Structure 1
Amino acid sequence: MSEDQENNEEQPVNRLADVKQLGLWASLASLSYVFWIVGGMEMIERLAYYGVRSVASIYATRPTSEGGLGVTMAKFGTLMMIWNMMQTFVPIFFGGLADRYGYKQTIFLATILKLIGYLLMALIPTYWGFFAGAMFLAKGTAIFKPGIQGSLIGCTNRNNSAVAWGTFYQIVNLGAWIGPLIALSMRQTSWSLVFYINAAVICINLGLLFTYKEPGIDERLARNAKIKSGEMKRSSLFKEAMKDLRKPYLSFYLLIFCVFWFMFPMLWDVLPKYIDDWVDTSVIVKSLFGPDGTSNKVIHFFMGMNESGLKIEPEGIVNLNSFMIMLTCFIVAGLSSRFRATTTLFYGTLLVVVALACFGLYPHAWVIVGCMVVFSIGEMLTGPKYGEFIGNIAPPDKKAMWMGFTQAPVLIGWTLEGKIGPSLYHHYSSKDQLSRQMISDKFDPSFDVSEKGIPIGEAFDKLVEISGKSPMEMQQALYDANNIGMVWYIFAMIALFSAMMIYVYGVWFKKYQEKHAEALNK
């Protein structure tokens, strides 16, 4: 057992007390090789995962004539709801199993499941093939996280945790940044290539596992030996989990973040489609390279541009988020280490509120870019802190279990957002759906605007044809006739409510630290 863990057991109050952090460079120097291996495995996993997730809404809603699945955002929302539910339900209970049976074994199992998922998506290019692949991918991701996060906590301590989590988040986002760019490049050739490439990428983690040494493995094996010999009795994981979840400082925190996770994933689940429908990204290209764009293939790749070099694809815009985090998260983490965790979470969430609200104000390319910058800073303040806070207050022998608990808010919030977000977008903002309504209301009430009359993804082209006007004129007409920003205003209000609850929790938790820290012994 490490000296850190012995101190934690002798003085359990320290799990709740604020601890002075090392400086930025001292923290970085204190990180072991296991930290970097774990970060590398998570980076590879995120590269492959976001190589699919970033293009999922576009792949699903593109017409079958263009190689897509040809479904509505509402139907895609059902898929996302089940995907999110599966991905976040399993870790809540699997974390304790990872603690008991080993992180290395669970990471191996997760990698195999994810490989099967990517191959199913490639080999069965239908909605149900994609659905089946998504379920394997969800299970693999769910099993992967507790082992990785338990390893991360095991090779860090409370004195370097802020910088460690921020640096880990930064490494991970290198994969989250490059994955969508590779997917964009591949999908311009063939959608199946997107999935085959990601299947190959995830296999890299099988090689990295050979260099990985599980933190705390000696203690785990010794504990298992005592249990096997009868010297120690193993308690029920379910009973232990229920006992821990009754602790108010844990349960209140998880409840608040159910609301946070209801609005936070909108950036990845809905924004790509919003940009695809409404944002003219050629404005950015003309500003940077002139009216003829650029023919430089390197610039095409790293900016996420189309083959002609005249516009930036939705993945390229959304990818600014991962790019910023990849470059600057360790700096933000170093700065945030000077403040209490709940204070950092509060101000980070307020920045997310501003970004979501501004997404809906006007779909101008540069406005969207500015919103991405604000959102990304907010994410750098909230994303690492969310897990770091739980990791710091968790009992030493239950790190993965408690990190599994962090998936409960994701389960509830992201599952609801996965269905409600795309459905609200379909109602308020879908260009395809609004085009059908305009055809029926203003041009030809007798025209069959159902999916049989106009395939999914082709309604706007039909509107342009019937109206005899240019695409830009009709897009402006649709924008003027509808409140396409409403979906973003709704989720901005949810984000504001989340920020207020985090603030109240921070005030309450500070008092709890001072008056009820002895509860850790119960």
Structure 2
Amino acid sequence: MGFISLMKKYNTTFWASNTIELFERWAWYGFYLAFALYLVNSKDTGALGLTQAQKGVIMGTGSMLLYFLPVITGAIADKVGYKKILFLSFTLYVSGFYMIKSFDTFGWMFFAFVWTCVGGAFFKPIISAMVARTTTDETSSIGFGIFYMMINIGGFIGPFIAGILMQKTWDYVFYMSIMAIGVNYLITLFFFREPVIKEGDSSLLDNILQAFVNIFTTLKNWKYVLFLIIMILFWTAFNQLYYSFPVFIDQWVDTSVVYNGIHSFWPWLAESIGTSEGTITAVTMSSMDSFYIIIFQLMVSAFVMRFRPLAAMMGGILVLAGGLGLMFSNQSGWLILLGVLIFALGEMASSPKFTEYVGRIAPPDKKALYMGTSFLPIAAGHQLAGWLSGGVYEKIADKIYLLQEEVTSRGISLPEISEEVTKNDYVEMASEKLGLQGTELTNFLWNNYHPANIWMIYAGVAVGAVVFLWLYDRFVIGKN
């Protein structure tokens, strides 16, 4: 009865805001987890055939803006009104998804993704603010728990469906995202109520300028700045789930073993989520991160609540590093799924504690300012993750790049990848010249070029974050 009476204290706008969040995450992650593959896979599959470096620039820059711009867009929303900004965000999203579906060159795709991320930046500050505004001290804890649950439900459903749709045509993935945002137009129109915001004398420009003044004020705390810089390493390692992991699975891992394992005890499920070739797509494998969070978040939160936030973060990031090691060091689909589970457990322990720690160290009159600047290391982490998953990943673990190296080392003359020669064409020609087909070629490159070494860089970045956090805790915080 207590729980039911508590649920009745949440108003219609609270539930509307959370439902909007679910569909927005559905739309965003539905395409985002597949986006790296869409950018780099061969053109004859309907993808763009770009290089890993070009992928890194597009994803890193756009995602960086997605997390940096809310500093400005939040100030705009407070002045213009939440409902108007939501409709603007949805319009940018829908047009952005359509442009991503339609454009096929690096320059135009860069523009389309940045455009879409600006839409996300307008959306991002609003719903969390609405959850805060529609809850009280009594209802906020469960309220934000519901909010994070909605994020992960949307973050699982979107990629899960995208993994099925992309087998037919890439266009369906983007149409799915457009339709999910379309639902949000209706929810916002009929159920979302504009919050009452005290009118000030300041102009829109004054609000934006004040946002930057607030950042500068907050960043005068050198200890806080040092903490944010260290956390850039965590977000850099974490973001490889989106930037590199789907590509690594697609290029190196035979997921038919997972498909067959599932098929042996639940044929319907395997056939529903698998491909016609009897494999599991990289996007579906990646979506298991959100699935694990939906199942285990409450248990992990209950376990880590007994630890100090910094200690929980260090432990969580160390676990996450172990997950990254398993995810990128082998070709076993089952071991990789175990790696995703370990990664998710580390994420569940560390990511919420990051927000909690910022809230704890912020002076009472500056909590909102500190929470705003906590997005800055996430933004920088996306930019750095883009660089690592671009040129660095390409030279160590990109299958096409390594195949080109092998062809060149043998003095074999082949036409370069171009508008006329797709990546798949090149692989077919190289396979014929090398006398290695399919799995034979993959295993040859795996054993001779060791692309699994990329795990040491990604896990190493995460371990670096743990080491610096320990030093920070010992020598900076310890001196208080």
- Flag whether TM exceeds 0.5 (same fold): yes
Aligned residue among 139, 148, 153 for 1:174: 153
Matched, 1:306 2:275: yes
Conserved in 2, the CA contact under 8 Å of 1:27 and 1:160? no
State the match for 2:59 in structure 1.
80
Contact residue 149 and residue 403 of structure 1 kept, 8 A: no
Cα distance 1:123–1:47, how it changes in 2: closer, same or farther (>3 A)? same
Report 1:173-212 matches (<5 A): 173-209=152-188, 210-212=190-192
Cα deviation for residue 460 of structure 1 reads 2.9
- Contact 1:57/1:273 (8 A) holds in 2: yes
SS of 1:108's equivalent in the other structure is helix
| 1:32 to 2:10 alignment | yes
Find the aligned partners of 2:8 and 2:220 in 1 and give their Cα distance.
35
* Structure 1 residue aligned with 2:44: 65
Instruction: Report the Cα distance in structure 2 between the residues aligned to 1:505 and 1:377, rounded to whole angstroms.
Output: 24
Q: CA RMSD in A?
A: 3.2
The CA distance in 1 between the partners of 2:5 and 2:244, in whole Å, is 37
Q: Distance in 2 between matches of 1:71 and 1:403?
A: 36
Structure 2 residue identity aligned to 1:32: Y
Say if 2:313 and 2:350, in contact at 8 Å, map to a contact too.
Answer: yes
- Give the structure-2-normalised TM-score: 0.88
Q: CA deviation at 1:117?
A: 0.5
**Offset, 1:57:** 1.6
1:426 corresponds to which residue?
A: 394
- Structure 1 contact 27–164 (Cα < 8 Å) conserved: no
Cα distance between partner residues in 2 of 1:228 and 1:126: 43
- Asked if 1:479 is matched to 2:446, the reply is yes
Note if 1:496 corresponds to 2:463: yes
Following the alignment from structure 2 to structure 1, what is the Cα–Cα distance between the partners of residues 260 and 69?
47
Per-residue deviation at 1:52? Answer: 1.2
Tell me, what secondary structure is at the counterpart of 1:69?
coil
Q: What is the CA–CA distance in structure 2 between the aligned matches of 1:275 and 1:138, rounded to whole Å?
A: 26
Shift of 1:172: 0.7
Match of 1:14 in 2: none
- Partner residue, 1:360: 328
Aligned residues of 1:169 and 1:329 also touching (Cα < 8 A): no
When residues 426 and 174 of structure 1 are mapped into structure 2, their CA distance, relative to the original with a 3 A threshold, is same
Cα separation, partners in 2 of 1:196 and 1:128, compared to 1, 3 Å: farther
In the other structure, the counterpart of 1:272 is 246
1:14-25 maps to which residues of 2 (within 5 A)? none
Cα distance change, pair 188–294 in 1 and its aligned pair in 2 (3 A): farther
Partner of 1:46: 25
8 Å Cα contact 1:63-1:455 kept in structure 2:
yes
Deviations, residues 20-59 of structure 1 (Å, cap 9, x unaligned): xxxx979986973454433322221111111111111211
For residues 235 and 279 of structure 1, what CA distance do their matches in structure 2 show? 49
Gaps of 5+ in 1: 1-23, 516-522
Equivalences, count: 474
Shift of 1:196: 1.9
Q: Partner of 1:151 in structure 2?
A: 130
**Shift, 1:243, TM fit:** 1.4
**2: CA distance, partners of 1:508 / 1:154:** 38
Deviation at 1:471, TM superposition (A): 1.9
User: Partner letter of residue 44 of structure 2?
Assistant: S
Correspondence for 1:467 among 434, 457, 461? 434
Superposed counterparts of 1:333-482, under 5 Å: 333-391=301-359, 401-442=369-410, 444-449=411-416, 451=418, 454-482=421-449
Are the structure 2 counterparts of residues 106 and 355 from structure 1 closer, same or farther at C-alpha, using a change threshold of 3 Å? same
Q: Deviations over 1:91-146 (max 9, x none)?
A: 23333444455444433322221111012223445544433321221101112111
1:316 aligns with 2:290: no
Deviation at 1:335, TM superposition (A): 3.2
Range moving further from structure 2, 500-509 or 315-324: 500-509
Judged with a 3 Å threshold, the aligned counterparts in structure 2 of structure 1 residues 105 and 502 are, in CA distance, closer, same or farther, namely farther
- Deviation at residue 295 of structure 1 after TM alignment: 6.3
Aligned mates of 1:305, 1:510 — CA distance in 2:
50
3-state SS of the aligned residue for 1:280?
coil
Query: In structure 2, do the counterparts of structure 1 residues 469 and 123 end up closer, same or farther at CA, with 3 Å as the change threshold?
Result: closer
Q: 1:182 to 1:510 in 2, by over 3 A?
A: same
Equivalent position of 1:287 in the other structure: 261
The range that moved more, 107-116 or 346-355, is 107-116
**Secondary structure of 1:414's partner?**
helix
Aligned pair in 2 of structure 1 residues 251, 162: CA closer, same or farther (>3 Å)?
Answer: farther
CA distance in 2, matches of 1:238, 1:37: 31
Worse-superposed segment, 453-462 or 350-359: 453-462
Q: CA, structure 1 residues 282+486, in 2 after alignment: closer, same or farther (shift >3 Å)? A: same
| Contact 2:243–2:386 (CA under 8 A) maintained in structure 1 | yes
Compare 427-436 and 90-99 and name the one that shifted more: 90-99
Query: What pairs with 1:189-268 in structure 2 (closer than 5 Å)?
Result: 189-209=168-188, 210-213=190-193, 217-218=195-196, 220-221=197-198, 224=199, 227=201, 236-248=210-222, 250-268=224-242
Q: Is the 8 A contact 1:50 1:176 kept in 2?
A: yes
Aligned partners of 1:62 and 1:334: how far apart in 2? 41
Do 1:104 and 1:147's aligned partners in 2 also have CA atoms closer than 8 Å?
Answer: no
Aligned mates of 1:347, 1:472 — CA distance in 2: 38
Kept in 1: contact 2:414–2:430 (CA 8 A): no
**Gap change, CA 1:447 and 1:123, over 3 Å in 2:** closer
- Is residue 330 from structure 1 mapped to residue 304 from structure 2 by the alignment? no
